[in-house]
Structure 1
Amino acid sequence: MGSKKRLIAFVALVALTSSVPTAAFASGAKVTIDRQTSLADSISGEDSMEAAANVSVSKDKAEKLARERVSIPNEYTLQGASLAVSVLAQGKRNVWGLDFVKKVNGKHKGSIYVQIDADGGQLLSFSSYIDNPSSKPTYPLKVERSAAQDVAASFMKQIAAAYVNQVRYNPEYGAQVLPPLTGEVVHKIRYDRIINDIPYVDNYIELDVDSEGHITNYKLQWDDTLQFPKADSRITLAQANAKLRELAQPELQYIVPYSPQGQRSPMLSYEMGSLAINALDGSLIKKLYDQTSSVSDTPIAPAALGEAPKAGNLTDKQATSLVESNFKLPTGAVLSNSSYNEYNDDTTGHNESYWNLNWTTKSGARETGSVSATVDSKTGIIRSYYAYAYDGVDTSLKPSLTYEQAEKMATDTVTKQLPWAAAQLYVVKPDPQKYSEAPAGTINSYYISFIRKIQGATVSYDRVNVNVDARTNEVTMYDAQLASFNYPTEAPKVIEKTEAIEKWLTYYRTELTYYVEREYSLQGQPIPIEKYNLMLAAGELDSEQVESKTDVKLVYRLVPAAIDESVFLDAQSGQWRNRESGEVTALEKPKALDVEGHWAQRQLELMVAYKALDVKDGKVRPNAIVTRGELIKMLVLAMNSGRGPIVMESADSANASFSDVAAGSGYYVYVQSALEQNLIDIGDGTFNPAGEVDREEMAELIVRALGYNTLANHEQLFNINFKDADKTEKKGQAAIVVGLNIMSLSDGGFLPERKVTRAEAATAFFRFLQTRADLKEAPIRD
């Protein structure tokens, strides 16, 4: 009866939009919805009606429950409904997905997506978004994180009362290490499921609360069918840390941080990923974090098989000949286009040039395929080769290659193209199950990749990939990107592995939790989860055919510390560095000890958190005069919501705009950004970053940042009544900052020549953030 059910991956949650005039939703809040990872049967047509009759909660009842529990206004109509089955550890759950939409004059103005348990009526999730261009941020936040937690807890007690006593607030999840510099903030609040006083972090209640105090997103992720092991015989935390220390394997890796202060160069890092061990016996849980693939222990050749090609100057004909002699082009391929390109690679500092070549194949007048290749015009190195048949490969051809044969073809190709690097390239071995368990003749192609190691250190930014067609026995894709950096001829001296482990264990914290391991088998043979999902999505098997086993383990795992930047461990110095800039940093940020009780304590702490003001010997020196460099850094960070600026051109002394702010200066990117945004002028070519700042100069900077400097020059527009106006050159600018309460008068005077302290500057920019939010103009509504 009806059409056959088709199995697909259950990804029912989508990013939707809504406006709801209740405490549940926020004006202008944008929400990204987490996608479900469970599998489902998609039900439609007559099958949908039949299935609906077999659930406890009908569609009409689900809609009624959704409107009651999420307070959906009447102007939101139900546009779509779906009934799906999510797979649990020991059973299934029927789920209604309801899509409510608001339209005004035919235009989509908002949506609310709700999921209801079709068996018990429990609200599982909702998400919302409003199309409200008139909304604008407020600063500081009306609702800070602590207050958002109260809002979330109150809502949770109403909607999920049965779960309240089974969860515990997770203070780490969603916490912002840096205080926000914008009012457009969503507080992510999570309550983890607690079993035997231990969190199971994959079951939780999650809520998003915006800075106005409205809940914009709710999700109950829960599986009552799981069976948890007893926890009373576990090893202690101290024993777990000792075991994790024993199992840790930091690896040397070359990385290239983005350096705004000059040409980028490789740095040697000790990388160490997270680990997890069985909490009962301390054994390594490999499946939790290990990749299914592994890197070969030996390179594709024991030594270099030739020298790197020397610089030359290839013509397009020579480049074309190289490709045609190194790869077997499809029959009838004709060169259709060639183009020469060159550019200066900011990463390496080298001038790069290459030929782009294109061939086409035809059947009569119709194009049937294409080939493209890139050849380095100086060295003759083939960077890439792609062959594509528009109609696919001849269906009469059956796959005949094994993985081992394909790997040899790929290795031979790489050895031929990159002989000088053969001793540095290692094949990445796939999971043995990926190909060994596939029925004979079902693998159409093999994708094989190689990593590069120099003196034992992995080069993270280099890659070589090859695709071999198992039907034609030809290489259809070759892509080799090896950066032209210079490396030391001998392995650099690095810190001991034991020291690297100790440092990484200060970066991680050890968490005791549960881990669910799912295994699937088909006709008695294990099947990888990726393949299982793919076959379900393609409708190639029925979930009833597959046997599943769920094993819940108690584990100790390493969890990264909550810090405000991405870091790496310098393998040579043992210092922590910022992964983006390469600058030396620390896991624990310096705290100013001389601001407790100061009238500008909050504002100073904000600037210290964003490194706009430095801390020396625990002191921020609030009464010291602020420098021009510090002031510009404060301003640019405030304008960028705390993010550092990106200067696009290569940073070197030759193109530094100011003679006294070289590319190596910590102020370089901020001064360059300020110049690009017309906040400062080039003047005589000097900036004087260490110079002291007076109140008039700070007023002009702030007014420029607000975009009112041209207006301020028309001083006749302003009521300038401060008593020292005759001593103030920038009267309009002074009037604006005073009128907006960013700066204050002192006994009726503006005091334009008085030097600005660090505390006064921090306070002015805190008020700038407030004022900028207040002055943000909404666009005209359509």
Structure 2
Amino acid sequence: MVKNHRKKLAVLAATVMLTSSLPAAAFAESATTPAVSAVSATGDAAASGGSAEVPVDVKVSKEKAESLARQLVSIPKEYKLQGASLSADMLAGGKRSAWSLDFVYKVNNKTKGSIYVGLNADNGQLLNYSTYLDNPNAKPTYPLKVEREAAQKIAYAFLSNVAPTYKDQVKFNPEYGAQQLPPLTGEVRHTLRFDRIVNDIPYVDNYIQLDVDSEGHVLSYSLQWDDTITFPKAEAKLTADEAKKNLIEQAKPELKYIIPYNGQGPRKPVLSYDMGAFAIDAVTGKEVQNGYINPDMVSETPLADKPLGEAPAAVNLTEEQAKKAVLAAFPLPANAVFNSSSYYENTDDSTGETTANWRLDWELKNGKDSVGSASASINSRTGVISSFYSYQYNGQAVNAKPAVSYEQAEAKAVEAVKKQLPWIADELYLVKRDKSQYDPDKVQYIDSYYFNFVHKINGATAEYDNVNVSIDANTGELRNYDASINPYKYPATSPKVITPAQAIDKWMTYYRTELTYYLVPNYVYQGQPIPVEKYRTLLAAGELKASELDTNTTAQLIYRLVPRQLDESIFLDAQSGDWKSRESGDVTQLEKPKATDIDGHWAQRQLELMVAYKALDVKDGKVRPNEIVTRGELIKMLVLAMNSGRSPILYEGAADTATSASFDDVGSKNQYYVYVESALQQNLIDIGDGSFNPDGKVDREEMAELIVRALGYNSLAGYENLFNINFKDAGKMDKKGQAAIVVGLKIMTLQNGNFLPAKQVSRAEASVAFFRFLQTRAELQEAPLRN
């Protein structure tokens, strides 16, 4: 497939079909979303006024490609071809030539728009399309004019027009690109994918993908397709139930300690059960190997059966002390000359703790010549060395065999780690590697051996810790040492967790089983098929000859696990068996909450929006629309609306107690803490007397002020003489300007000419007000002044 090296974000101006629905010029004017500029293709004499012929041998000439491009996507005549390039893409059974064409539209020598088109140079098929238009006056509307279902029809009509031979070979993929949460902004791109169907089975690596915006414009088009693949018909394949049984039997859930991204309070490890997606052969049921490291590669025994020393005590190293500590741990050659040092401190926002480190550098000299370097980082508060690097060119011949064997290097690496991290030697495990990649009889030159170690606490991997070591294959010296061990506290014994079988059952509710094809490369060497492992060894050894190696690709039928499309990253708590949010650490669920008491309600759509973003809670399936909204709920609605639905991130260092929070009644463990603190930071609320009263009820006047603050008009509201305030009950109000703004913008309404400032707001009324706030915010977006 042609690759647009500076890939454009698409902004195609069309509604359903470019070639028939509107005049060509109209499409250029209707495109709205700015994009990254496309690659400047190779220079083209014809495009710049010359007449040189392009010296390439393809069925579709450059001139024909330009003509086809202008026909297929109705490129306006004012768009001139600025660049054209020809490239070849490797397919499973050969190669394909493709044209990349860049068209630009300039006004006063300034680029106002550009269109990129990729075409098959053998048959003229449209492969890629995207466009950019500099239109600062365009702005999206909210709610969306075109929702995903309508965008799907627009996309299918477009691909039927530009790729009619493929339209009956694809099927819409409802999962791909689906937004799990309704949008809170009109700037939405519907990403739609149509998978290739072969033998009634989706081949998900071949597809047609399009982007359609909320105005109904096709923004981009991409045909990812390989017609040279041979697909097998596996009549004896496993049934879906048999495949699921095999997947369950081969699943390997792994205990891991993780850190939630933005959990409230100090960062703290949480024990989880992780189970990555994998695939099995659809005929044999055996696991398909993907080449990644899996738990089976980790040694079953730690480096030691007990700690080999005490954890480091508190110190405060000077530069000289730090230097002595590094040289005692990793001796340097006599030609090492100390070069420089630096000291730095850093406060971890997540813990509030300050770390201090020395960075030390040496130069390795041969007379006046520099022949290498060395460096180290050491924690000045603990004396723990976190990294060390040393390299000196030794003039080793390229074809010489290493003086140090793999086993000898492994022993040196293990010994170094035990020496540097003795207090956790019983928690460090060596990752086992395929030793054939270091076979001196097959590999032409071995410079270093590389080793990795994982940190396990009572059998659970700390995914955020790692230790890496490299050993010089000729001198046996430690060349590189890097250790990241976080100082978290763990339970002395393994906590009670759910069983692996229970973990698998939970994960199988997260994954779905999909039957699809998987491409497998085949290698033939000297007339004989060879496995991929041998191919890699021969390649590394430099023994492969182009004339002796033949490659082809076949499709293998597999069953694979496919994760759910969720609006948040989740993990499985190993102790409780609950699904929890990776972001907050809070309990969550795979299924979206759904309220049963709002069907047919006058504010159903707006309430569903608030429920989807968890601004309103659902208890026993009910959202209770007529209950009075609380201050905490209202602030959460407002902050989510202003943040496009994302939870706010506080950068000030998480608090552990309520006393360090801004309000004495909204501590760091309160469900509204991050929203209230964010609202305070954005000047949406004031500190007042230090109490927020999150469970307090909200009246209409307070809600009006919050909305006006969010719009940025609160200072303007103080000039009451600017507004026509004719509320019957204006005399009862303190915030007349704010009320006038929200009524004038139709965010809130009057009742018989009264604003009713003291009337408490229901959850339904608050949901409607914030939906209208989103609409108004989109309408009030102002285009920048232009020169």
How does the TM-score come out when normalised to structure 1? 0.90
Aligned to 1:638: 641
CA distance in 2, matches of 1:657, 1:207: 47
1:342 aligns with 2:345: yes
Aligned to 2:8: 16
Aligned to 2:470: 467
Confirm or deny: 8 A CA contact 1:17 1:109 kept in the other structure. Answer: no
Structure 1 residues 229 and 626, CA, compared in 2 at 3 Å: closer, same or farther? same
1:677 aligns with 2:682: yes
1:696 aligns with 2:701: yes
- Listed as ranges, the matches of 1:73-92 within 5 Å are 73-92=76-95
SS in 1 for 2:614: coil
CA distance in 2, matches of 1:107, 1:473: 61
The alpha-carbon deviation at position 766 of structure 1 amounts to 0.4
CA distance in 1, matches of 2:110, 2:786: 13
Aligned to 2:314: 311
Q: Give the AA of the match of 1:164.
A: K
CA distance in 1, matches of 2:429, 2:32: 50
Confirm or deny: 8 A CA contact 1:209 1:217 kept in the other structure. Answer: yes
SS in 2 for 1:162: coil
Aligned to 2:692: 687
Bigger CA drift: 298-307 or 724-733? 298-307
Structure 1 residues 540 and 351, CA, compared in 2 at 3 Å: closer, same or farther? same
The alpha-carbon deviation at position 287 of structure 1 amounts to 2.9
CA distance in 1, matches of 2:105, 2:293: 46
Q: Give the AA of the match of 2:127.
A: L
The alpha-carbon deviation at position 385 of structure 1 amounts to 1.7
CA distance in 1, matches of 2:739, 2:130: 46
Confirm or deny: 8 A CA contact 2:665 2:693 kept in the other structure. Answer: yes
1:126 aligns with 2:118: no
- Listed as ranges, the matches of 1:515-530 within 5 Å are 515-520=518-523
Aligned to 1:27: 31
Structure 1 residues 82 and 648, CA, compared in 2 at 3 Å: closer, same or farther? same
Q: Give the AA of the match of 1:702.
A: I
SS in 2 for 1:338: strand
The alpha-carbon deviation at position 34 of structure 1 amounts to 13
Confirm or deny: 8 A CA contact 1:567 1:579 kept in the other structure. Answer: yes
CA distance in 1, matches of 2:544, 2:146: 50
- Listed as ranges, the matches of 1:346-357 within 5 Å are 346-348=349-351, 350-357=353-360
Question: Which of 579, 584, 588 is the matching residue for 2:587?
Answer: 584
- Listed as ranges, the matches of 1:293-692 within 5 Å are 294-329=297-332, 332-348=335-351, 350-361=353-364, 370-387=373-390, 394=395, 400=402, 401-432=404-435, 434-436=437-439, 439-470=442-473, 473-520=476-523, 546-649=549-652, 650-653=654-657, 654-692=659-697
Q: Give the AA of the match of 1:664.
A: K
Deviations 1:661-699 (A, max 9, x none): 011000000000000000000000000000100111000
The alpha-carbon deviation at position 326 of structure 1 amounts to 2.1
CA distance in 2, matches of 1:506, 1:308: 42
The alpha-carbon deviation at position 456 of structure 1 amounts to 0.9
CA distance in 2, matches of 1:434, 1:503: 38
Structure 1 residues 526 and 185, CA, compared in 2 at 3 Å: closer, same or farther? farther
1:732 aligns with 2:724: no
Deviations 1:212-243 (A, max 9, x none): 11111111111112121214322221111111
Aligned to 2:189: 186
The alpha-carbon deviation at position 156 of structure 1 amounts to 0.7
Confirm or deny: 8 A CA contact 1:169 1:192 kept in the other structure. Answer: yes
The alpha-carbon deviation at position 469 of structure 1 amounts to 4.0
Matched length: 761
Structure 1 residues 254 and 394, CA, compared in 2 at 3 Å: closer, same or farther? same
The alpha-carbon deviation at position 171 of structure 1 amounts to 0.5
Structure 1 residues 290 and 552, CA, compared in 2 at 3 Å: closer, same or farther? farther
Q: Give the AA of the match of 2:655.
A: A
Aligned to 2:758: 753
The alpha-carbon deviation at position 197 of structure 1 amounts to 1.2
Question: Which of 714, 723, 726 is the matching residue for 2:728?
Answer: 723
Structure 1 residues 606 and 530, CA, compared in 2 at 3 Å: closer, same or farther? farther
Confirm or deny: 8 A CA contact 2:360 2:377 kept in the other structure. Answer: yes
SS in 2 for 1:287: coil
Confirm or deny: 8 A CA contact 2:255 2:574 kept in the other structure. Answer: yes
Confirm or deny: 8 A CA contact 1:31 1:217 kept in the other structure. Answer: no
CA distance in 2, matches of 1:287, 1:425: 26
The alpha-carbon deviation at position 75 of structure 1 amounts to 3.4
Aligned to 1:208: 211
CA distance in 2, matches of 1:340, 1:658: 37
Question: Which of 762, 772, 776 is the matching residue for 1:771?
Answer: 776
Structure 1 residues 648 and 323, CA, compared in 2 at 3 Å: closer, same or farther? same
Q: Give the AA of the match of 1:700.
A: E
Q: Give the AA of the match of 2:141.
A: T
Bigger CA drift: 202-211 or 431-440? 431-440
SS in 1 for 2:357: strand
Structure 1 residues 617 and 716, CA, compared in 2 at 3 Å: closer, same or farther? same
How does the TM-score come out when normalised to structure 2? 0.90
Aligned to 2:147: 144
Confirm or deny: 8 A CA contact 1:100 1:113 kept in the other structure. Answer: yes
Aligned to 1:4: none
The alpha-carbon deviation at position 570 of structure 1 amounts to 0.6
SS in 1 for 2:166: helix
Identity of aligned residues (%): 58
Deviations 1:259-316 (A, max 9, x none): 4421121111000011212222322222387669932333233433222222222222
The alpha-carbon deviation at position 80 of structure 1 amounts to 2.7
Structure 1 residues 99 and 774, CA, compared in 2 at 3 Å: closer, same or farther? same
Deviations 1:468-515 (A, max 9, x none): 344554433221110001111111111111111111100111111111
- Listed as ranges, the matches of 1:143-182 within 5 Å are 143-182=146-185
The alpha-carbon deviation at position 330 of structure 1 amounts to 6.0
Confirm or deny: 8 A CA contact 1:361 1:368 kept in the other structure. Answer: yes
The alpha-carbon deviation at position 527 of structure 1 amounts to 8.1
1:707 aligns with 2:712: yes
The alpha-carbon deviation at position 764 of structure 1 amounts to 0.5
Bigger CA drift: 256-265 or 202-211? 256-265
Deviations 1:98-152 (A, max 9, x none): 2333444444444333221111111111223334444333211111101110110
Aligned to 1:3: none
CA distance in 2, matches of 1:732, 1:570: 50
Structure 2: gaps spanning 5 or more residues: 19-26, 46-51
Deviations 1:64-115 (A, max 9, x none): 2122212223333333322222122122211222233344444444433322
The alpha-carbon deviation at position 572 of structure 1 amounts to 0.6
Confirm or deny: 8 A CA contact 2:11 2:33 kept in the other structure. Answer: no
Structure 1 residues 103 and 267, CA, compared in 2 at 3 Å: closer, same or farther? same
Bigger CA drift: 463-472 or 134-143? 463-472
Structure 1 residues 711 and 367, CA, compared in 2 at 3 Å: closer, same or farther? farther
Bigger CA drift: 544-553 or 764-773? 544-553
CA distance in 2, matches of 1:485, 1:449: 21
Bigger CA drift: 238-247 or 608-617? 238-247
Q: Give the AA of the match of 1:778.
A: A
Confirm or deny: 8 A CA contact 1:18 1:131 kept in the other structure. Answer: no
Question: Which of 227, 245, 253 is the matching residue for 2:230?
Answer: 227
Deviations 1:602-656 (A, max 9, x none): 0000000000000111111111100000000000000000000001122233320
SS in 1 for 2:492: coil
Confirm or deny: 8 A CA contact 2:345 2:354 kept in the other structure. Answer: yes
CA distance in 2, matches of 1:248, 1:210: 40
